[in-house]
Amino acid sequence: MQATAAPHLLRFLTVAYTVGPRKGELLKLEWPDVDMRRKEFTLRKTKNGETRIVPMPLDVLTVFLELWKDRRLDTKRVFLYKGKPWKNPRTAFAAACRRAGIFGLRLHDLRHTASTNLRRAGVDTMTAMKIVGHKSEQMHRRYNTIQPEDLQEAADKLQRYTANTVITLVTSAVSGQGVNA
């Protein structure tokens, strides 16, 4: 999609894909709520009405540095289109998807992806929920997708762990200490 998305859309998509804010939360984001020094931004107008601080990984920080160069003094809004606060990226997103040959993808799916990526990166559930803005573990689980490669990664992690333990089934059986089940 990178080759088919306009720069303003690509910036928006990078933030949505990486840290998972809702579309409306990003569109309402204002510069006073962006702290580049601390590498975080604050979402004040959230769906559940609670303020949320979102960290900026390097990709997101880079986007905000680019947006800073294009900012306007006549609006506080961060995401602009043709110099005005962007109202809805849906049309640009649909066009970019069409050009990329992607069908059935919704902007909201990036939120699911961010949640899944946080889990895959090893971010604990409570922290991931705070970043994405989920109030319950049930909702957070609903946004996570388990793929076959996730199961294989779990098996690989288990193998690495058990290979480094002192007592294993193999060493117990060899020493005649058998394991009773």
Look at the pTM and tell me if it is higher than 0.75. yes
Say how far apart CA 79 and CA 56 lie, in whole Å: 16
Q: What is the CATH number of the domain that holds 71?
A: 1.10.443.10
131 found inside a domain: no
**Domain of 70, in residue numbers:** 7-102
Q: What single-letter DSSP state applies at residue 77?
A: B
Report the pLDDT averaged over residues 20-44. Answer: 95
78-119 residue pLDDT tens: 999 999 999 999 999 999 999 999 999 999 999 889 998 888
Per-residue model confidence as pLDDT tens digits over 46-67: 888 889 999 999 999 999 999 9
Is 115 a member of any domain?
no
Q: What confidence tier does 180 reach under pLDDT thresholds 50, 70, 90?
A: low
Q: Which amino acid is at 63?
A: V
> What is the per-residue pLDDT for 156?
80
